[in-house]
Structure 1
């Protein structure tokens, strides 16, 4: 898709403002999870990209780097490269953040330090950049005109957001259906099959409350996301990875992990470790009888 340079600058400026606003609102706990640390690093990279693109757009005749004059060709090139890097980072971010949340909820590993999270983020950025340059087969698309006449840039759109959201929402739906089916089986089990009704009902309660808390917070965002993805207009790759999307992704991953792990006894006693979330309040209520059984 062809986008004007002015629209690119306005989009990057708005994205930076949104990124730093959400980082500031979550400043008390944003560095306590891998996804939060990555959100800070993304805000820093976006700020550097915006400043660089703005400087190249305004001072095309005076910007030199290692003896090379940088022009508006390099504006389009930089936006395309960073857009491809953002597009390639969607799945690694989902996988690593999901593993981090799973270890937190399941309490399988010791809590990681902030230094280790920053190291993981640096490695993620570095390896993704190497993948884009060496293995992805990425080729920039530049107009065959003078740099003074370049007013539009060809940018790639992202399809990873739709894939990620569909997969995680499908996993959340499957967890809910599994809990419902388990409850029906526990009501009338076969003669040879013995089930633990208290465990089944507690699992159902955790899944039901998890889905309810998530939808109660993110239902409007889900509606607009579905509408936007159904429209024929694609999302530019340089805008696809942003802090607002990461906040939604954080809540969705927490919901999926809670449905998979279902730490009902820890949740009932207030001992479960839930990853930090600035949007969803992960508080669960259990009846006294259920607490006694669990």
Structure 2
């Protein structure tokens, strides 16, 4: 039976189709490295961040990566064994990796949309659930989305035929998701557009930004200009500040994305979906929602979105407190 072509399998591209089925330590090392990167990223989060969908999904992704590593290690160690009446061989390492890749590759759009809706609802004044209710709600959504996408992957006839064909031909291709590619392209274009349209303001802010303390928290303070109108052109005022805050944290990751897009690097989906990438998308979503809902931004922690890596509060303090320099003593001045 011939292997399935890329036209018959939507949203995926074949990569290295003639890769042999034999799996060496490279796959285990790659997944182990990804797990260590996930743990490091989760450990670097700012303390006291609010609960949100993205946090729960990132934790679930780290757990599934760990389960994948354990299963691949067991199959690789025993090579050929029977468990619950099912015979497992080295072929199942390839099969399991491809199922995970197909599942990961289909999750970028749903996770992006659900996280965006979650932050939009946080900005709205709708009644909020209790802390326990929020945890149960987010946990249920995460479980539901994993089950739904996995059921689609296992039930799609084209995918099922492709997996069967690879078992006959002893090929183990890697799949590259188009969802992550187009998300990366869209975010880079929007970020580039924001920087180009406000590059002079961005450079001015970088030269004038200060490190100060506010409510026992160290923040970047953008001096307030009395000529700016918060109600008249708040989005125009926020664009350079959001750009500086985002690039100040994620500039290495932005440069990495630009290089990968320029060189057309194709990464397998089981590597591309990782915790650092999700938190990068998360920060971009928060900046986007804040820009669209700038009139709803308050200093109260119950309303203001809390990013595990970017302190967005410094973008809005000058808009709410015009004389912060008189009430809080700057710690230092950044000279660029």
Is the counterpart of residue 211 in structure 1 residue 243 in structure 2? yes
CA contact (8 A) 2:174 2:268 kept: yes
Task: Choose the corresponding residue for 2:166, options 128, 142, 146.
Answer: 142
Q: How does 1:14-163 map to 2 (within 5 A)?
A: 14-26=33-45, 28-29=47-48, 32-61=51-80, 63-111=81-129, 113-135=134-156, 137-138=158-159, 139-140=162-163, 142=166, 144=168, 153-163=172-182
Q: How does 1:147-186 map to 2 (within 5 A)?
A: 153-171=172-190
**SS at structure 2 position matched to 1:69:** strand
CA distance in 2, matches of 1:276, 1:39: 16
CA distance in 2, matches of 1:33, 1:89: 17
Describe the superposition over 1:261-285 as per-residue Cα deviations: whole angstroms up to 9, x where unpaired.
Answer: 1136x44x55672333222111224
Describe the superposition over 1:122-157 as per-residue Cα deviations: whole angstroms up to 9, x where unpaired.
Answer: 000000011112237312253657xxxx7x832112
CA distance in 1, matches of 2:63, 2:190: 32
CA distance in 2, matches of 1:24, 1:230: 31
Residue 20 of structure 1: how far off its partner (Å): 1.9
Match in the other structure for 1:274: 304
**SS at structure 2 position matched to 1:157:** strand
CA distance in 1, matches of 2:167, 2:306: 46
Q: 1:165 to 1:29 in 2, by over 3 A?
A: farther
Deviating more after overlay: 30-39 vs 116-125: 30-39
The runs of at least 4 consecutive aligned structure 1 residues that moved more than 6 Å come to: 173-180, 288-291
Describe the superposition over 1:180-208 as per-residue Cα deviations: whole angstroms up to 9, x where unpaired.
Answer: 9xxxxxxxxxxxxxxx9551233322233
Q: 1:211 to 1:136 in 2, by over 3 A?
A: farther
Residue 170 of structure 1: how far off its partner (Å): 4.3
Aligned length: 268
CA contact (8 A) 1:85 1:128 kept: yes
CA distance in 2, matches of 1:279, 1:197: 29
Q: TM-score, normalised by structure 2?
A: 0.70
CA contact (8 A) 1:31 1:37 kept: no
CA RMSD of aligned residues (A): 3.0
Quick check: which one's helix share is greater?
1
**SS at structure 1 position matched to 2:318:** coil
Q: 1:115 to 1:288 in 2, by over 3 A?
A: closer
Match in the other structure for 1:13: 32
Q: 1:110 to 1:220 in 2, by over 3 A?
A: same
Q: 1:46 to 1:201 in 2, by over 3 A?
A: same
CA distance in 2, matches of 1:64, 1:6: 22
Q: TM-score, normalised by structure 1?
A: 0.80
CA distance in 1, matches of 2:244, 2:123: 19
Match in the other structure for 1:190: none
CA contact (8 A) 1:106 1:263 kept: no
